[in-house]
A and B are shown apart, each in its own frame.
Chain A
Amino acid sequence: MKYVLMFVETEEFGKRLEEMSDLEREAAYEAVGRWFAENSDKITHHMHLAPAHTATTVRLGDGEPVVTDGPFVEGKEVVSGYAEVEVADLDEALKMVRSWPACPLVEIRPAS
């Protein structure tokens, strides 16, 4: 089955990342790199998104589309990236996510 793992950053996580020393940050990025390498046989595609402050949202409906600055939900939790994976079932996706070393929230959605 195909799933999309959505990586979600929290304000607190962002702050922690900022406060890290260069060495610590490097180690954190390395851990992420290792995770992608270890799971490369299951990951078909992945993308890291630019920070939420770069987002632009367009609301379509009656009349003219409305363009606004920022993500579609103004919240403390923002999607920071995603990975598309091909695994047998939800348990296998859950197992991958359990060892994810970075942001504290991951949403798993079946996709087709």
Chain B
Amino acid sequence: MSGPDDGRGSREALARVVREHAGRLAACLVSLLGDFSAAEDLVQDAVETALRRWPVEGVPDRPDAWLFTVARRRGLDVLRRETNYRAKLAQLRWPEPGKGDDRLRLIFTCCHPALAPAARIALTLRVVCGLSTAQIAAAFVVPETTVAQRLTRAKRKIAEAGIPYRIPAAEELPERLDAVLAVVYLLFNEGYLSSTGERAEARDLADDAEWLAALLAGLMPGEPEVAGLLALIRLHRARGAARFDSHGRLVPLAEQDRDLWDRAAIAEATALLTRTARAHRRPGPYQLQAAIVACHAEAAGFEQTDWAQILVLYDMLLAVAPSPVTRLHRAIALRYVKGPAAALAELAGLEEALSRYPLLHATRAELLRALGETSQARLCDERALGLTANPAQQALLHQRLDLTHGEWL
């Protein structure tokens, strides 16, 4: 047993241990009982017991066996009337001999397109990552009752609408995998690029997202987009230490201290991306986004950035996944290839689609400033400021309005 400790480090260690084992147990119990909701309730009870007792008693040497024992005892207790369930539970041994990893089925059920998007995220966090309802509520800054209702409704839908517990057939797989990757990517964005502000105390959802992507990559080695998403998340996180200054202010890419970037992690993620591209030759949106981030991450300095290559990658990305936000990012790259006037011309076509998107106005401000149109630039910065709720972005815009210089990427 490791000793009791109530610091943040041990809380994180605790979360890691739970995450490693809760999903496996849930997967096994859903298979055994054939009842998603009942199985999930048992695991959640065990997780909550662990979160209460482990900080005091220490983490047991076999946390998986501990969680299993608690879940089974609870199951034999609460499922008294379901004699069929009881019999199955009574016979179950842990760890299951010769059983592979069943969590993929769990993930596909949690991310089923017949569930509401918010429910998919909550369910994945709870069932696959072993977060408690309270932890999910804290991470998304919503009342616990809201999350609880969302989960209850989703579990009822799974049972009553007959959402299956299995890996989709080959012909459904591409679409269903897209839904799974979207959940992981949203989770990452919520944790890493969150637009809702300061939550230093909240659980790091980016951690859960990276863990999920790694889990998926291990379970689906034949899917290049899964590896692409993992590389994308790792490349972003490798630069995390340079994104904020000591006052919590967002630091623009051009001004980031690149010595703070984790070069080993960048090299590793880039190698994963290259291996994946060579093995499959099926570039998709996640691989292409990761390749763009890799171009930035590999540049020794902002001036050495290979913008021509980035522009090519954006064109490829637009071909497979057209979106106004991607066109905006392409315009930013175009500035460094063809100059600010060319980039500004590109923005004209995006006004309608992105009029409420702060980065459009902040980018226009940047380009106008580069062209010497200072007063027009100011108006655009003010417009961007009125549209963002993120304190770090607000601070940066304020700073820019003061100094009228800088870069926001």
B-binding residues in A (CB < 8 A) = 1, 3, 88-91, 93-95, 108, 110
Interfacial chain B residues near A91, Cβ < 8 Å: 163-164, 166, 168-169, 172
> Can you report 8 residue pairs joining A to B where beta carbons are below 8 Å apart?
A90-B114, A90-B162, A90-B164, A91-B164, A91-B166, A93-B162, A110-B160, A110-B162
State which of A1, A3, A95, A108 has its C-beta within 8 Å of the C-beta of B172.
A95
B164 and A88: CB pair below 8 A?
yes
Interfacial chain B residues near A108, Cβ < 8 Å: 161
Q: Which residue of A lies closest to B164 (CB)?
A: A89
Q: Which residue of B lies closest to A88 (CB)?
A: B164
Residues 105-117 of B, flagged 1 when their CB comes within 8 A of A and 0 if not, give: 0000000101000
- Taking the closest CB of chain A, its distance from the CB of B99, in whole angstroms, is 23
Which of B160, B162, B169, B172 has the most A CB atoms < 10 Å from its CB? B162
Q: Which residue of B lies closest to A112 (CB)?
A: B160
- Taking the closest CB of chain A, its distance from the CB of B159, in whole angstroms, is 10
- Taking the closest CB of chain A, its distance from the CB of B320, in whole angstroms, is 22
4 closest cross-chain pairs (CB), A and B = A89-B164, A1-B162, A89-B162, A90-B162
B contacts with A: majority SS: loop
Interfacial chain A residues near B163, Cβ < 8 Å: 89-91
State which residues 123-162 of B face A: CB under 8 Å: 160-162
- CA A95 to CA B168, docked complex, whole Å: 11
Interfacial chain B residues near A90, Cβ < 8 Å: 112, 114, 161-164
State which residues 191-240 of B face A: CB under 8 Å: none
- CA A23 to CA B163, docked complex, whole Å: 40
- Taking the closest CB of chain A, its distance from the CB of B128, in whole angstroms, is 19
- Taking the closest CB of chain B, its distance from the CB of A35, in whole angstroms, is 17
- CA A95 to CA B160, docked complex, whole Å: 18
- Taking the closest CB of chain B, its distance from the CB of A20, in whole angstroms, is 30
Q: Which residue of A lies closest to B159 (CB)?
A: A110
- Taking the closest CB of chain A, its distance from the CB of B222, in whole angstroms, is 21
Interfacial chain A residues near B161, Cβ < 8 Å: 90, 108, 110
- Taking the closest CB of chain A, its distance from the CB of B116, in whole angstroms, is 15
- Taking the closest CB of chain B, its distance from the CB of A56, in whole angstroms, is 31
Interfacial chain A residues near B160, Cβ < 8 Å: 110
Q: Which residue of A lies closest to B176 (CB)?
A: A91
- CA A91 to CA B112, docked complex, whole Å: 9
- Taking the closest CB of chain B, its distance from the CB of A2, in whole angstroms, is 9
- CA A90 to CA B163, docked complex, whole Å: 5
Interfacial chain A residues near B112, Cβ < 8 Å: 90
- Taking the closest CB of chain A, its distance from the CB of B238, in whole angstroms, is 38
Interfacial chain B residues near A3, Cβ < 8 Å: 162
Interfacial chain B residues near A110, Cβ < 8 Å: 160-162
Q: Which residue of B lies closest to A89 (CB)?
A: B164
In addition to A90-B114, A110-B162, 14 A-B residue pairs with Cβ atoms within 8 Å of each other are: A3-B162, A88-B164, A89-B162, A89-B163, A89-B164, A90-B112, A90-B161, A91-B164, A91-B172, A94-B114, A95-B172, A108-B161, A110-B160, A110-B161
- CA A110 to CA B114, docked complex, whole Å: 13
Interfacial chain B residues near A88, Cβ < 8 Å: 162, 164
Interfacial chain B residues near A93, Cβ < 8 Å: 162
Interfacial chain A residues near B162, Cβ < 8 Å: 1, 3, 88-90, 93, 110
- CA A91 to CA B158, docked complex, whole Å: 11
- Taking the closest CB of chain A, its distance from the CB of B384, in whole angstroms, is 38
- CA A99 to CA B391, docked complex, whole Å: 48
- Taking the closest CB of chain A, its distance from the CB of B357, in whole angstroms, is 30
- CA A110 to CA B162, docked complex, whole Å: 8
- Taking the closest CB of chain B, its distance from the CB of A96, in whole angstroms, is 12
Q: Which residue of A lies closest to B165 (CB)?
A: A89
- Taking the closest CB of chain A, its distance from the CB of B65, in whole angstroms, is 33
- Taking the closest CB of chain B, its distance from the CB of A102, in whole angstroms, is 22
- CA A108 to CA B161, docked complex, whole Å: 9
Q: Which residue of A lies closest to B171 (CB)?
A: A95
- CA A93 to CA B164, docked complex, whole Å: 11
Interfacial chain B residues near A95, Cβ < 8 Å: 172
Which of A1, A89, A91, A94 has the most B CB atoms < 10 Å from its CB? A91
Interfacial chain B residues near A94, Cβ < 8 Å: 114
- CA A88 to CA B169, docked complex, whole Å: 13
